[in-house]
Amino acid sequence: MANQDQNAVFDNYNEGQKIVATTNEFDAVKGFFLRKTEGSIDSANSLTDTILTVCNLHGISPMAMIDELAEYDTSEIQQVLISMINQTRGNTSILGYNKSQVPNQAVARNVIS
């Protein structure tokens, strides 16, 4: 009996939302991120998966997204990707990015190290 219950749970375990992308779209997105990550295959694969998932969720063409991202520099691309990912996450779990800031001199002089 327990085996049947287990099978019922895990039969559809890997059946999530299907991502629809053509081979050309996948290759173009991966190629874009290979250039942006200086040939890092793992990073390019992760970013490709992220872009295709987010584009699928929002009904956006991956090619249109890559065309738009091509206009930005690397730090701007990071901010756009984080914003897009956050739109698909719950309010209790959002991502941020570190933006280096120059502290106000009046505040910085009051900090004792």
Q: What tens digit of pLDDT does each residue of 27-53 get?
A: 999 999 999 888 889 988 988 988 888
Write down the pLDDT at residue 23: 87
Cβ contacts of 29 within 8 Å, gap of 6 or more: 21, 47, 48, 51, 52, 62, 65, 66
Residue 27 lies in a domain: yes
pTM for this structure?
Answer: 0.62
Domain that holds residue 31: 18-87
How many domains does the chain divide into? 1
Distance separating alpha carbons of residues 53 and 106, to the nearest angstrom? 45
pLDDT tens digits for range 64-105: 989 988 888 887 888 888 887 777 766 665 555 555 666 666
Q: Span 11-39, mean pLDDT?
A: 80
Helices and strands (H, E) in the chain, number of each type? 6, 0
Residue 34 located in a structural domain: yes
Domain assignment present for residue 4? The answer is no
List all residues 6 or more positions away from 19 whose beta carbon is below 8 Å from its beta carbon.
Answer: 52, 53, 56
Does a structural domain hold residue 76?
Answer: yes
Residue 6 counted as domain residue: no
In a domain, 98, yes or no: no
